[in-house]
């Protein structure tokens, strides 16, 4: 089977990014871009991001997760600590996040180090989730091989019965990670493939250098 995609082309013409107008802290630019995209270029989920990890087998693996919070310190998402990504992070905390917002013709690539957040923060977020999502987190032994979907649905029914009329506690194997960035690159599509690329590199705590890169 072969599919020739050489004619798939798009001209990027919706914006520009200059070194002079970029703030000194990349988190300020991230916040500005995120809210601008969310307000003016609505997508299904602006907070959807790809996280890439290095697995125990030495191969990289990428998947989409949802960003749930960001601060000057980093980017927070939640997952099952026993999942493939959880085990990969435990073995090698160096990860890469990426956002692609096609409506705004923008991309952000983030290199960073992932670490678990506090139990209090994980508890607070878990309590804010819909009950169905809480049950789903408790039921799923994420990334494990299962015989069929009925196996999951039976586990869900059993857990619903177990916690009927009660609050569902956060499973100890489920919680948040914060990715603390060491490098952030902002990409703005431009005509003729001469895209704007600004890369920030962390030198010391909250002290960043920035440079323009060739496209």
72 is in an annotated binding site: no
- How much is the average pLDDT of 195-212? 95
Domain boundaries, the chain: 26-118+175-212
Q: Is 170 annotated as a binding residue?
A: no
Confidence of residue 37 (pLDDT cuts 50, 70, 90): very high
Mean pLDDT of 59-83: 98
pLDDT of residue 167: 95
pLDDT tens-place string over residues 116-162? 999 999 999 999 999 999 999 999 888 888 899 999 999 999 999 99
> Which are the catalytic amino acids?
193
- In CATH, what is the architecture of 26-118+175-212? Roll (2.30)
User: CA-CA distances (angstroms) from residue 124 to 7, 129, 201?
Assistant: 49, 9, 32
Q: Establish whether 35 is an annotated binding residue.
A: no
Arithmetic mean of pLDDT over the chain: 95
Q: 206: annotated binding-site residue?
A: no
pLDDT range class, residue 193, cuts 50, 70, 90: very high
Residue 169 has pLDDT above 80, yes or no: yes
Strand ranges for the chain from DSSP E: 48-54, 60-66, 69-70, 75-80, 94-101, 106-116, 174-188, 196-204, 207-213
pLDDT on residue 41: 87
- The predicted model gives 92-99 an average pLDDT of 99
pTM of the model as a whole: 0.94
pLDDT band, very low/low/confident/very high, at 11 (cuts 50, 70, 90):
confident
């Amino acid at each position: 089977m072969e599919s020739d995609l050489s004619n798939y082309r798009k001209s990027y013409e919706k914006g520009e990014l200059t070194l002079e107008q970029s703030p000194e802290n990349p988190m300020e630019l991230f916040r500005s871009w995120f809210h601008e995209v969310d307000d003016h270029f609505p997508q299904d989920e602006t907070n959807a991001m790809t996280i890439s990890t290095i697995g125990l087998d030495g191969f990289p693996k990428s998947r989409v997760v949802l960003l749930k919070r960001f601060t000057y310190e980093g980017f927070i998402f939640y997952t099952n600590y026993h999942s493939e990504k959880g085990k990969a992070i435990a073995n090698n905390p160096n990860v890469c996040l990426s956002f692609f917002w096609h409506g705004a013709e923008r991309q952000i690539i983030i290199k960073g180090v992932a670490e678990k957040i506090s139990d209090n923060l994980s508890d607070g977020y878990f309590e804010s989730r819909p009950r169905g999502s809480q049950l789903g987190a408790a039921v799923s032994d994420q990334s494990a091989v299962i015989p069929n979907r009925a196996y999951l649905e039976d586990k869900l029914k059993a857990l619903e019965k177990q916690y009927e009329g009660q609050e569902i506690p956060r499973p100890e194997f489920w919680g948040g990670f914060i990715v603390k960035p060491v490098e952030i690159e902002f990409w703005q599509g431009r005509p003729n493939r001469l895209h704007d690329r600004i890369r920030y590199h962390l030198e010391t705590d909250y002290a960043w250098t920035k440079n323009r890169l060739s496209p």
